[in-house]
Chains A and B, each alone.
Chain A
Amino acid sequence: MRKKYLAWFLLLQLVFVLGGCSGGNDSVSLSQVSVRSVELLSRETVEKGHTVSLSVTLSSDADRNDLGISYYLLSKDEATQRIDSYHFGSTSIPVVSSGERIYAQSFVFSDDVPPGTYSLLLHVDPLETSLPDDIAYEAPGDVAITVAADGGKPDLVAHSLHAHSSYLVISQDEELGDGDQRDHISMTVDVESVAHDASNVAIMAYVETTAGYEPVRIWNSAGKAFENSLVLSSLDANVLQSVMLDLLVPPEVLARLEGKASTNVKVLIDPLDAIDENENALTLAGRTDDNELVEPVNIYAGAPVASKGDGGLDFQTSYSKGFDNKYFGADLDFLGKAWFGLNGIGASVSGTVPVTVLGHTFDFLGITSDAHYNPILPTDSAFDLDIEFAGITLYSQSGNAGFEWEKTWKIEKNLGYSQTFVIAVVPVEVSAGASGALGIKATVSVNSKFEGTVSPFVDVGAYASAAVNLVVAKGGIRGTLYLIGCSFDTKLGGTIAADAGATQLTGTLDETVGYTLSGPNGGLVIFVKWPKTCWKWHVIPYPCGWNEKDWSLVSWSTYSKTDTLLDRRQSVTVPLQ
């Protein structure tokens, strides 16, 4: 059976060569470049991920540019006459000068090759872009290469670490006295398990204090608690995984940061070396330990969540969270404010959710609302709400003194773009966008029992695709992602009344702000789709559907958190003189 397929293969090769599909020119001299010798400069035993260095001696009759060389490993079984070949690596020589010269080459060995000892085969100009025909050269027997087993061991690599803000805010807790712990800084780390899957991969984070690097706690979405480490249950081989990290600095560590204006945050993958790694699978330039990344941050004694303004009281809560990798990102900014002062009582809310996909930023949601009631001058009271999408006001609600409104308002929108972009001679269709739900829950009462509650929510996904689409074959990247879901649970209001002589305003002011946030989930794949050929009577080919294959490129780990940011109620009196 094997011989039958061999016969088929050889004949098809014959058809290919004789058919002239390569556009080769049989009238041109074939011996313009020749390989004189090849010598292995790096060690003879290699593992996947190793850098291989070798020198190639070429003889050329003319100067040439960008001459490609592909290297193959050959194993020959003398007994069965079987020859197996595996791709070892490819290089390009930018300039080949005429005459006989030695060229140093190196590449990273990244293919799956069974362990064993192999001889080396070179193909010069395998695509036949410079020469009429590629040139094959088998190295002498003394150039033997042994592929060692990597033992199925992965290499864990932290690729990048970036903070949502470069400030580590150290005094944002304790204001509520509710015992809840709130993160001091949030970051995104991109990790990869090179060559093989890995499971139960722990991530720990540290801050640099006077006592050196000390561990901090990381939010665990599954356990809904800050823990000493975050454990990723599985990492698929060669897939970039983006992980959101909310970090909480324990009080005793916080004390050792006092007086410092900046520090470093360190993130370490597999800190206890629990996973047996093949550290050579991937080496990164300038990195001595690819499991570790350090990010410098400023230290900021953060704003208290409530403050007393001149002549009255105001409670303000701001919340900002963001995450991004090279492909997708989202920011969430929210500001809720309740105030009581000379001009009465009021509440305002503003929020934006810009979404970034393939470098395009879409203003997915913009909300502004302002409500105020002035018991002394009721005509100076008003409520205004604007809900914007992509810069257009979709919905507006307005009212004057006495206005009452209660509403849950929700719509679904999508926006995106699509364009054909040409790179070299290839048309590439690029499309990206975001879609999802946006809305508010509102309770508004513009009178002495005042309420100006507007709680926004958003639930948005993103999609992206960049692909060569030639109908007869397609390929590129594509993906969809559940990007961000966030709802705020707020109450902004209070009571207000003027005394009989209008000498003072008295009342209460309330503000409660909580949120539920779920982070990105999903990813991007590389795909290729090509026609499937079936055979009738073993000889007549006909198209019969499509072959398709895809590989994960990037994915996100799930994130979620619920928290109360502020919960305050206070009596207030403001003299009107």
Chain B
Amino acid sequence: MRRRSVVIASFLAIAAIAVFLIGKAEVRVPVEPPERQHPSRAAATFAWSPGSGARYEVDVTSAITTGASPDAPVPPTIHISGILNMRVLSTDADSVLAGLRLSPVSCEIFGEFRPEMRDRFSLPFSALFGSDGTIKSVRLSPTLSDNERIVLGEALRSMQIVVSGDAASWTTREEHATGPYEARYERASDGAIRKRKVRYLALPAPMRVDILSSDTNARLSPTLWLQSAGGRESLAAFSGEAPLLRTTLAFSLKALPGTPDLPATLAGIVAMQKAGRAAASSTGAGTVVAISGDAAPASGGADEAATRFSASLDRFDRRNRATFDDLIAQLREHPELARDVAARLLAPGTDDATQAALMDLLGTSDTPAAQTVLLDIAGDPGASHMNALRAIIALGGVAHPTTEARDGLRSIARKEGGPDVADLSRTALLALGAVASTLRTNDDPAASSVTADLLAAIPEKEGPDLRVALKALGNTGDPAAAGRIQSYLASENAATRAAAATALRRMPDARTGELLLSSLANEKVPEVRSAVVRSMSQRGLDDNAFAALAESAPKEQSALVRGEMIRALAKGTDSFPAARDTLQRLLETEQDTQNLDLLRRVLSKAPKTP
């Protein structure tokens, strides 16, 4: 056993030496520590001489931790190190186009050296710098996956230094993939620049990033960009109040002597990127190990896929998200399996809860095949009425409605017959309204034709059909439909007026806001006034709406309407701090016991002042 260990040890030692030598040959370069050797005063502004080039030794490490996690079994780090080659390709008055290449480079993910990433990360790319140092854009090789682009692009942006003439201190608003942030700079007497991120601005809600620490020190180069930079920052990311992750980023950049190893023109860079892409596609390396999200599900023959899908259906637990996601992935890979879902759904032994869940599965999968299956179920005389309704509702919720789905819904909406047929027809109208809204979101021009169909479907006679038709139009959120709906606010029938008010809740135009305010002032029937207030609240209160509600609520005679006003004002407390005062005043005058309860509850949810 000992002899065998010695043999293995010898082998590994040789391998280690070989790796060392290869590493030396590829990564190591003679280094002359720039700051020590050139202690002269640093440049005050960036130098961007056309054609000039530079080489930097760079090292970026980012560690990620989650909450109070115990020691991770692998180091949760991303580590990139190597030589950054840089060359100015062109300049104009405001900006500088630079070619960049990280070569040689080494990458480690979670403690594992990833040699296959080296080839992709070492492809040249370009970056557009502002003359003040702002990195305006980074154009990376298409060979890189989205996540690799983020890692590499952000590694470069982490070294961004923005100057403001020769000022001693200044504040900037900068941006990177996390979002815009405010940074403060100070310039020391020897020209060294210190940058600190102060805070992130306007991140997409509810994300929040707290800067726990941030400190970067840099020196500008008298010849090109930076002489050196080094920094460290710790960030904590939250979603709402939930702590998600913490990261620590440490980076360094030091100028090296020598000629940069990258093409001198943009065309040369693009050609090298293309060559890299061709090489990646020929080896398959670009897809197998790219940092790009989950690997594609295992493919196989149709029979194999059906067998696997059937087993997944057997395991399906509607409360287990993983089983739902697994089925969705398979349905998207093999759309024909939607038929299997329908068969399972309509099988005699399938309980009602599972039928409802499988219908949702088909709608969420969003494939054209699934939409066809949903249409079939909606028109299947063998399907229960509830399942036909579910199929129509699921069609109304698909993310990419097909032409066939739209036509099918139109056809169902036009059917006439007994109560069940009428029920399906009305539900199809509502689903068409939802489809129009989705199409508008997708910028699909078909949206307007669906809205036009719904407008044409408005019955002349007042009654239940008209009320549902108005709500279907309301679902579109299409301002083109607002005028027609608004006209029914003047109906003699109170239920019609209430339906029109309800339908206007998704209409964003100013005219609708004005009409709802006018209706609130003139409407006598409490149920209609309640619908008006609910719509105002769902549209979101603007200054006029808030002022009208704050003024009307204490005078409102109907407890029902006051209740709706309290709810609307409560929703507006974030935007209108005065809403809380209004609610507090209402608390002193309200006589209705339910409204008193409601007031106390909504006031509880605002900042507490017991």
Contacts and interface: CB of A to CB of B under 8 A. Distances in A.
Interface of A: 3-4, 7-8, 11-12, 14-15, 18-23, 25-29, 65-66, 87, 94, 111, 127, 129-130, 163-167, 169, 238, 262, 296-298, 300, 302-304, 307, 316, 318, 320, 326-327, 335, 337, 348, 356, 358-360, 368, 370, 372, 380, 382, 384, 386, 391-400, 403, 409-414, 419-430, 432, 435-437, 461, 463-464, 466, 468-473, 475-477, 480, 482, 526, 528, 530-531, 538-539, 547, 549, 551, 553
Contact of B471 (A166, A396, A531): A396
B294 A386 contact: no
B342 interface: no
B112 A66 contact: no
B305 to A, nearest CB: 22
8 contacts: A8-B8, A11-B9, A392-B430, A423-B209, A428-B245, A471-B292, A526-B67, A553-B68
A400 B600 CA distance: 36
Contact of B20 (A18, A430, A461): A18
A549 B74 CA distance: 10
B232 A66 contact: yes
Nearest to A423: B237
A468 B437 contact: no
B390 A411 contact: yes
B63 interface: yes
Nearest to A168: B610
A420 to B, nearest CB: 8
Nearest to B236: A423
B295 interface: yes
B468 interface: yes
Contacts of B27: 20, 23
A392 B289 CA distance: 42
Nearest to B206: A359
Contact of B357 (A164, A412, A422): A412
Given A65-B215, A384-B499, A395 B74 contact: no
Nearest to A264: B610
Contacts of A551: 69-70
Given A429-B293, A437-B356, A326 B393 contact: no
A531 B598 CA distance: 54
B290 A471 contact: yes
Given A411-B360, A426-B62, A20 B24 contact: yes
| The 5 residue pairs across chains A and B that have the minimum distance between CB atoms | A359-B240, A23-B81, A359-B206, A303-B593, A129-B250
Interface stretch (B149-157, B369-377, B508-516, B545-553): B149-157
B17 A18 contact: yes
A196 to B, nearest CB: 14
Contact of B430 (A169, A370, A393, A472): A393
Contact of B108 (A21, A318, A411, A463): A21
A358 B206 contact: yes
B239 A303 contact: no
B597 interface: yes
A530 B593 contact: no
Contacts of A300: 600
B227 interface: no
Given A424-B247, A426-B78, A437-B356, A20 B23 contact: yes
Contacts of B63: 127
Contacts of B70: 238, 551
A396 B506 contact: no
A477 B238 CA distance: 12
A269 to B, nearest CB: 19
B177 interface: yes
B71 A65 contact: no
A530 B32 CA distance: 38
Point out which of B57, B204, B324, B610 has the most chain A C-beta atoms below 10 A from its C-beta: B610
Contacts of B32: 27
A425 B249 contact: yes
B495 A472 contact: no
Contacts of B239: 358-360, 430, 432, 466
Interface residues of B, number: 153
Contact of A414 (B360, B463, B600): B360
Contact of B207 (A398, A421, A530): A421
Contact of B178 (A424, A461, A473): A424
B244 A397 contact: no
A430 B61 CA distance: 22
B423 interface: yes
Contacts of B23: 18-20
A30 B251 CA distance: 18
Point out which of A18, A87, A412 has the most chain B C-beta atoms below 10 A from its C-beta: A412
Contacts of B209: 423
Interface in B49-73: 57, 59-64, 66-73
A469 B293 contact: yes
Interface in B433-463: 433-434, 437, 463
A427 B150 contact: yes
Interface in B149-196: 150-151, 154-155, 158, 176-178
Contacts of B16: 11, 14-15, 18-19
B522 interface: no
Contacts of A396: 426-427, 430, 467-468, 471
A241 to B, nearest CB: 14
B190 to A, nearest CB: 12
A411 B244 CA distance: 32
Interface stretch (B270-278, B315-323, B409-417): B315-323
A421 B597 contact: no
Contacts of B154: 422, 424-425
A4 B1 CA distance: 9
A25 B244 CA distance: 34
Point out which of B106, B147, B353 has the most chain A C-beta atoms below 10 A from its C-beta: B147
Contacts of B324: 414, 435
A471 B295 contact: yes
Given A470-B147, A480-B322, A539-B8, 16 more contacts: A12-B12, A15-B12, A18-B23, A19-B20, A20-B20, A23-B79, A26-B28, A66-B250, A129-B250, A165-B604, A169-B597, A412-B356, A426-B245, A428-B245, A470-B110, A475-B110
B217 interface: yes
B202 to A, nearest CB: 14
Contacts of A382: 494-495
Contacts of B68: 238, 553
B329 interface: no
A166 B230 CA distance: 50
A472 B112 contact: yes
A391 B463 CA distance: 24
B62 A380 contact: no
Contacts of A391: 506, 538
Contacts of A429: 293
A15 B74 contact: no
A296 B245 contact: no
A247 B82 CA distance: 62
Contacts of B114: 472
Nearest to A13: B16
Given A425-B151, A472-B112, A410 B464 contact: no
Contacts of B397: 392, 413
Contacts of B498: 370, 384
Contacts of A335: 563, 594
B250 A472 contact: no
Interface in B5-39: 5, 8-9, 11-13, 15-17, 19-20, 23-24, 27-28, 30-33
B241 A326 contact: yes
A431 B396 CA distance: 23
A340 to B, nearest CB: 15
B30 A393 contact: no
Given A27-B31, A411-B360, A320 B499 contact: no
Contact of B158 (A65, A424, A432, A468): A424
Contacts of A165: 600-601, 604-605
B213 interface: yes
